[in-house]
Structure 1
């Protein structure tokens, strides 16, 4: 019986512990520092009291400012586009066509990629801002600055328009390939927002293409969208007008600032040491939280640190 009572007490104690852990509580959490002025490269020792499940650290530097954690838009960016092109070399005796590929932008396109909505939009030809290939060697466009289109609004679409006259063996419409497409916003503080996706995926997944009938009254070739944009060499006696258009870019888009996670519920952290590499006044924020199935309870602690040269 005595053994049974001991086991029963153990089960009760375990149950009370488990219930207590499932109850969401506000963390007891505080942060102190022995002084508030440091030199560049000094070790700033933040003393942490209490033991919240998780702690996030906002240093106050660019990209890690607590007040900007929900910010997604800021005016005054430098909006820049870059890409590469290549075109097929011509057979001997073939004069080819010039100017088949055009770069255009629109601030009032609806995003519906069909002939009606493309024609209704206002498109500005900015081909002369880019370098377009004249042979089969991949050629960088250089940096295409589109910041002046902020005056027309926050939205911008970019289009590659392929236009050819009736093609023939003597005047062949060129084949073109577009690759390495990057559109980004760069802000005065150095923050960069890259609109399209990472280098390793299909970066043209946000494009849509449509084809118009040419003067031959026959729809011939179309843009092929994949890891590149590709338009095949012209077909004899056929003409083409074909568009490949991006998703909408927001010229003010900026990534929200983020915290650095310095603690989870598997460790106890009595202090955190950080070094600043540039002088300035920094608003430092620590966010400690407890997490259960009922949700999250957080406590925020803010300090001001001055860093001198």
Structure 2
């Protein structure tokens, strides 16, 4: 009888032990609370107070490019435009104008070799843009040009071609800056960024000319002026040269846009009781908090949404 009682007691203790371990491994669902003034002013910080903050907390403010509903949007449809700044100087005679042209290709391989540029199919679109004739290095707007007809979801490359074959007089020098490709979509208060000078960036290709270690007669990034520059007016062996150089973007998908981003407010080890956010435009916004309690044993997520009205 004693043996039976002992066995039952041990079985009960083991069962309770397993139950305790399971309880310890259970992850609690987030139960945080947010307090803030639901009416705010443009330019004035909104203070958010947080009670019982979860292990991890993520914040979408609801304004442009910070909307939770667009967190996974990578493609969109709309009007695609392209613009850039350009300027030139020093060219004489026939070389005073006409050395810069704009092209696109959908079969260029992106390798950056002269051979790949030569075998690719390039279509000229120079006449869509304002190409500088000011002759004083004042950066001129190209105009915001509609290129929606080129957007088919496939990779495209844009090339800025410098070409000078008149060796009787001084060639021109060019500056290029602020490439900007954007998309206007129906539900956005401002254009979405498709590509820029930094993303996806450029490659210079010397097709016909002289590659120089000191950046003569080719496109290069001028770190002092913070723009792309072609110093085509440099003599080689005392003579002007025939020169063809391309500044070509990396591959761009004209229907691809950057997804909206939120702000990580808290990680597991951090404490968070309050934070501030400032809205720059009037409107009614949907604020979204994504909370997570997470351990090696699992995770629990909770999403809470609020509305805030911002006035001027």
- Distance across 2 between alignment mates of 1:49 and 1:149: 52
How much does 1:263 deviate?
4.1
Q: Render the CA deviation track for 1:125-161: whole Å, top value 9, x for unaligned.
A: 3245123244242331332414233355443322111
**RMSD of the TM alignment (CA)?**
4.1
2:132 corresponds to which residue?
132
Distance in 1 (CA, whole Å) between partners of 2:272 and 2:147 is 48
Cα drift, residue 82 of structure 1: 0.9
Gaps of 5+ in 2: 1-23, 212-216, 223-227
Residue 247 (structure 1) shift = 1.0
Secondary structure, counterpart of 1:111 in structure 2: coil
Change in 2 beyond 3 A, CA 1:259/1:120: closer
The answer on whether the counterparts of 2:27 and 2:300 sit within 8 Å (CA) in structure 1 is: no
Q: 2:196 matched to 1:196?
A: yes
State the distance in 1 between where 2:310 and 2:135 align.
54
> What's 1:208 paired with?
204
Q: Secondary structure at the match of 2:102?
A: strand
For residues 304 and 194 of structure 2, the distance between their equivalents in structure 1, rounded to whole angstroms, comes to 30
Number of residue equivalences: 269
For residues 120 and 277 of structure 2, what CA distance do their matches in structure 1 show? 56
Query: Which residue matches 1:162?
Result: 162
Give the deviation of 1:178 after TM superposition: 2.1
Matched, 1:226 2:218: no
Q: In the alignment, is the contact (CA less than 8 A) between 1:52 and 1:288 conserved in 2?
A: yes
What is residue 287 of structure 2 aligned with on the other side?
284
The answer for the alignment partner of 2:105 in structure 1 is 106
Matches of 2:164 and 2:256, distance apart in 1:
36
- SS of 1:180's partner is strand
Pair 25,103 (structure 1): closer, same or farther in 2 beyond 3 Å = same
Matching of residues 283-302 of structure 1 within 5 Å: 283-290=286-293, 294=296, 297=299, 299-302=301-304
* 1:72, distance to aligned residue in structure 2 (A): 2.0
**TM-aligned CA deviation for residue 124 of structure 1:** 2.2
Instruction: Evaluate the alpha carbon distance shift between residue 300 and residue 46 of structure 1 in structure 2; reply closer, same or farther with a 3 A threshold.
Output: farther
Give the distance between the partners of 1:96 and 1:54, measured in 2 at CA: 61
Aligned 8 A contact 1:81 1:146 in 2: no
Q: Which residue matches 1:266?
A: 270
1:85 to 77, 84, 87: 87
- Tell me by how many angstroms 1:307 deviates: 4.6
Where does structure 1 lack aligned partners over 5 or more consecutive residues?
1-21, 213-218
In the superposition, the TM-score normalised over structure 1's length comes to 0.67
The alpha carbon displacement at 1:254 in A equals 2.1
Q: 2:177 aligns with which of 153, 172, 180?
A: 180
- 1:55 match: 57
For normalisation by structure 2, the TM-score amounts to 0.67
